[in-house]
Structure 1
């Protein structure tokens, strides 16, 4: 059960891609060298971590997005949309130390970074889509001084963050965040205060979620640093012994054996399969489809049925809802005892709701009603 009153004001930190999405809905995808008139369009900020942060904010959480946006024309459109959605942005494209000797850092424009513009065409009759984008591109990695400036800002945000989510893009930013997180949880840190977040930090229980999406080479170094790994059905581990080991239940087993507290695979309207590292208490194991072993719990969560008209961004909504569910859970003595299955069940409801509306923003108006039923 998700406690909505306690969850108000919880903070989540999201690290990853920011794009500008031009979404157009058409009667049918155009053939080569043809032109088609769109029935509907939307221009909004996009990216897996970004849309998860927007979802978290819509659920009345405080979402902080660490990304690269820049101060150019495209970046200004992205920033404006995030401001409307109530997401706080830490823009690594603008972070540089101030002139030497002043002893502080501030955000100042740097040269030429522009987010990708993703052109998304959705077939209204089938929900099939085409996406063309440069994704994160190849930005210049953080310099040592830029990394220091970023970490200085992160320290303040991490002290309040109950959950961290990564989408695998901008891996230099992800590792910078995780390095600060590790430092916050180091044994030689001062004694923490009272309250859920300090207790989570002290116990090393603060969840780090990886939106695994499709396989990316940079995930090799990120996977071992994450506690919760949520994949799509398209995710396949490379260099696995067989197809069965690379996907499905074999994939879940490998991710848990690799150190994840929870691994899950979403597959559209089909049940979300999950596995945890240890046996965990489940409030309603039958409803969750759960079966436990002495050292492991596994099961599946039914995705609520919906009259879906647009699945674009549903996975991002799932991850944002899961982050919010974990952030709203109270810490306990064992990290697996956070109500991960309850959070995943709630996230399935969030994702299902998002598919009943066009685009990635119109569904947010329906979130208050969802919270009232939580």
Structure 2
């Protein structure tokens, strides 16, 4: 069984389904919303666990009324987790999700509180012995040190570039695989080539930009190309990009081939879009 460590965000998502996005200043009545545990690193860990079994997540939940919701979700998804705010009264990160009938979604959320509890990254890696580490860019006060130590131990570091964050120049030098979304724009960058050029400054050997149902843009020291993604009848895209990253970590370890890992991850993520919500696919996909 492969071992992966995911570090990043866990959120409480309240998901509403509507036929189409409303205009401004209106009140919409919907069916009762669904409540999920989400977040880039969390959903990635869910995908890896589905493909591989137990996995490990380092995140921040804190002491609050929703602790049991997170705990139950992690247990059901076979995720072993470390709560960086286990003994701290803290409001979890909340997200309101509006999903339209065409599968598109809009999310309202906020940044998490800063982590002030120290963590021994060397002890953590000694204890868990991961074969890959994935970071979603949140909690830089922990992520930078962990990535640095993983890099020193030649453990591959995968970065989920969902959006630009000001502190990323501290993290990117320790990244081996940067898989970015179409919304990831470093300063002064407007075109994909400019994004790849920017990431090259940090000697990141493998880079990609995912673009929903459009081909994935791929760049590495050996190649520059595009990879087609499966075209499916989308029901819901919530979490699909996160599941891509979790699957990528798994296929990177099992295929040992960058392009194959990207292709298999795209196939996996596309299948999750055939189901409503970010968990209903779990018992229906191999």
Q: Provide the TM-score with structure 2 as the length reference.
A: 0.93
Following superposition, the deviation at residue 264 of structure 1 comes to 0.1
> Which is higher, the Rg of structure 1 or of structure 2?
1
Give the structure 2 partner of residue 271 of structure 1. Answer: 215
Give the structure 2 partner of residue 334 of structure 1. Answer: none
C-alpha distance 220-179 of structure 1, shift in aligned 2 (>3 A): closer
Q: Is the 8 A contact 2:216 2:229 kept in 1?
A: yes
SS at match of 2:57: strand
Match of 2:259 among 323, 326, 341: 341
**Residue ranges of structure 2 left out of the alignment (5+ in a row):** none
Give the alignment's Cα RMSD to 1 decimal: 1.9
| Residue 122 (structure 1) aligned with residue 99 (structure 2) | yes
Give the structure 2 partner of residue 156 of structure 1. Answer: 127
| Residue 328 (structure 1) aligned with residue 254 (structure 2) | yes
C-alpha distance 350-361 of structure 1, shift in aligned 2 (>3 A): same
| Residue 352 (structure 1) aligned with residue 278 (structure 2) | no
Following superposition, the deviation at residue 40 of structure 1 comes to 6.2
Q: Which has the higher helix share?
A: 1
| Residue 29 (structure 1) aligned with residue 21 (structure 2) | yes
- Inter-partner Cα distance in structure 2 for 1:134 and 1:63: 26
C-alpha distance 151-22 of structure 1, shift in aligned 2 (>3 A): farther
| Residue 41 (structure 1) aligned with residue 33 (structure 2) | yes
- Inter-partner Cα distance in structure 1 for 2:45 and 2:80: 9
SS at match of 1:258: coil
SS at match of 1:52: helix
- Inter-partner Cα distance in structure 2 for 1:340 and 1:133: 32
**Residue ranges of structure 1 left out of the alignment (5+ in a row):** 1-8, 95-108, 186-203, 280-296, 330-337, 369-374
Give the number of aligned pairs: 286
- Inter-partner Cα distance in structure 1 for 2:240 and 2:110: 21
Q: Is the 8 A contact 2:11 2:92 kept in 1?
A: yes
Give the structure 2 partner of residue 6 of structure 1. Answer: none
| Residue 213 (structure 1) aligned with residue 162 (structure 2) | yes
Following superposition, the deviation at residue 20 of structure 1 comes to 0.5
| Residue 318 (structure 1) aligned with residue 267 (structure 2) | no
